[in-house]
Amino acid sequence: MGKSVITIPATISKFTAAPLTSRKKRKVAAYARVSTDHEEQQSSYEAQVDYYTQYIRERDDWEFVAVYADEGITGCNTKKRDGFNSMVEDALAGKIDLIVTKSVSRFARNTVDSLTTIRKLKEHGIEVYFEKEGIWTFDSKGELLLTIMSSLAQEESRSISENCTWGQRKRFADGKVTVPFKRFLGYDRGPDGNLVVNEEQAKIVRRIFGMFLTGMSPAMIAHTLTKEGIPTPGGKQNWYASCIRSILANEKYKGDALLQKVYTTDFLTKKKKKNNGEVPQYYVKDNHTAIIDEKTFALVQTKLAGRTPGQNRLSSVSIFSSKIVCGDCGGWYGPKVWHSTDKYRRVIWQCNHKFDGNRCTTPSLTEDEIKRLFLQAANIVISEREELLSVYESYMAPKLATEALEQELAELEAEINIVSGLIDSCIQENARVAIDQAAYQQKITALEERQSAAIAKKEKTAKEIARRKARRQEIELHFQRLREMDLLTEFRDEDWISMVDHVTVHAKGDIWVTFRDGSEIKAGTSNG
């Protein structure tokens, strides 16, 4: 007897486990996204939401759930897409049976994210319909088509990113400057898109540079601005030293603009990285009106470069911190509180190593003593400013001259160019004719060593020139202030900060004040 086969038709969906004859309405949601915040995209966003609301409600077999949407969010990554993530969570919770979206590229431009999400939804019986491509994910060909279309969407995103990057770099190369004006102190966007000075904010910028040049640290400046209630560039209440340093180092305040300080490393993640030479940069001179003159800006950069991390003498908010030196050990004085819980409470300053193994014998100082001794020394300097200026011009100024060093720098640059030419000639000769390779290598090595030595010396010379110029400018600024000062009758923070380099306390209580010009004045003897 022959075999017979009876086909038993499927009765339930292999994806949803619902009966195939079920007339139950599917719970349907839509997903809409526009990828920019530009005004022209606003209408696209609203149109998508309106379209899918009507599209779902017109179907008798569909039950409208919601339209989930993301506005101004990239499709390359799903991590920051709140609407998308909320939709997936609701679907997995059983609130959605079907998701309708315009296209694969609207859903995601990242192949991995797209397929991972689709498979997760599919495992829970949730289908996705891509209207433009006509893809239903429950269809047998759905995943293959989706893989192809997602890859194409990702490649499209990469192409768009590269085109945008090229366009941006072309604008940079043409000297077109763009800045985030909402978080940029001192400038507004002009009619042509360039920077226009905001005079009220510019006053704050000039003040920050001025405070730094008087000797205030970024931390002290931040503390002062916060205390005065001046808002930060971002409109916040609290200033931080990092923000002050960023302002002090920003070349835009002298009218120039360095473009492409950061770049995007991955078009999918949109991760940005500081540009340390990986991609070109563009420096635009005299792009806009300067707030800070070039001489002042250069002096500030030199002072910033000279501040050693971890050994920053001006890092503290207190004006006396890292200003008072112990004559025994060379360490800094720090504040100590005596009688902190009673009416005799007072702050005294003493060597931070006073009670270490080798106990220092230098006395403690009260803040009133420091102020009194400073006033004594400052008034001596003010009274003798002309004599001190004469001493500076006769003895110190020649030591800070840079003419000879600048001549040496020019000679070193010429030497480097000559050696570079010799290296190139040597390489070309080796490529043209057969020569002894041992002799060739010996010659190349000698030339490279000569070149490296010249480069190292050039760098050292350039640093010394910058140091001398900065020191000369600092001293000249000090004497300029002295000429404008009358004898002091009371202590002011700004006088102490701008005039004093450091104070040295000796074991017998002798106090010597070293001023910005290098002059040392014996202020008196401590009572401590």
Ordered by where they begin, the domains of the chain are 26-165 (3.40.50.1390), 181-305 (3.90.1750.20), 319-528 (no CATH)
Q: What is residue 156's predicted lDDT score, i.e. its pLDDT?
A: 56
Q: Identify the segments of the chain with pLDDT beneath 70.
A: 1-2, 7-23, 34-45, 72-80, 105-106, 108-113, 140-182, 260-282, 306-317, 339-344, 357, 526-528
Amino acid type, 118: I
DSSP string, 366-402: EHHHHHHHHHHHHHHHHHTHHHHHHHIIIIIHHHT--
Distance CA 331, CA 453 (A): 37
Residue with tokens 């080798």: 358
Cα(377)–Cα(385) distance, integer angstroms:
12
Q: Please return the burial class of 20, using the count of CB atoms within 10 Å of its CB with bins 0-12, 13-18 and 19+.
A: exposed
Q: How many residues does the chain have?
A: 528
Neighbour count for residue 182 (Cβ, 10 Å): 9
Tokens at 266, concatenated: 């991955």
Tens of pLDDT along 367-385? 889 999 999 999 999 999 8
Which residue in 518, 513, 508 sits closest to 478, CA to CA? 518
* Torsion angles phi and psi, residue 348, rounded to 5: -120, 155
The reported pLDDT for the residue numbered 416 is 92
Nearest alpha carbon to residue 243 among 222, 212, 268: 222
Q: Which of 33, 41, 131, 42 is nearest to 87 (CA)?
A: 33
Closest CA to 87 of 73, 75, 101: 101
pLDDT reported for residue 74 = 46
Residue 494's alpha-carbon distances to 211, 215, 383, in angstroms, are: 9, 9, 19
Predicted pLDDT of residue 284: 73
CA–CA dist 366, 338 (Å, integer): 11
Which residue in 361, 364, 355, 300 sits closest to 333, CA to CA?
Answer: 364
Distance of CA 188 to the CA centre of its chain: 20
Measure Cα distances from 173 to 62, 177, 189 in Å: 54, 10, 20
> Do residues 105 and 121 lie in contact, with contact meaning Cβ atoms separated by under 8 Å?
no
Q: Where are the beta strands (DSSP E) in 232-299?
A: 257-259, 262-264, 272-274, 282-284
Mean pLDDT across the chain: 78
Structure tokens at 353: 């190593």
Please tell me the chain's helix, strand, coil percentages from 3-state DSSP, rounded to the nearest 5: 45, 15, 35
Question: Could you count the other beta carbons within 10 Å of the beta carbon of residue 184?
Answer: 18
Check: CB of residue 296 under 8 Å from CB of residue 213.
yes
Q: How high is the pLDDT of residue 513? A: 92
Closest-CA residue to 81 (of 144, 126, 35) = 35
pLDDT, tens only, 21-73: 556 788 999 998 765 444 444 456 677 788 888 888 888 889 999 888 887 54
Task: For residue 34, give the H/E element and its range.
Answer: strand 26-34
Cβ atoms within 10 Å, residue 108: 27
Relative orientation angle of helices 199-213 and 241-248, to the nearest 10 degrees:
100
Q: What is the pLDDT of residues 453-498, one digit of tens each?
A: 999 999 999 989 888 888 888 888 888 888 888 999 999 888 888 8
| pLDDT at residue 456, rounded to an integer | 92
Compute how many other C-beta atoms are within 10 angstroms of the C-beta atom of residue 110: 22
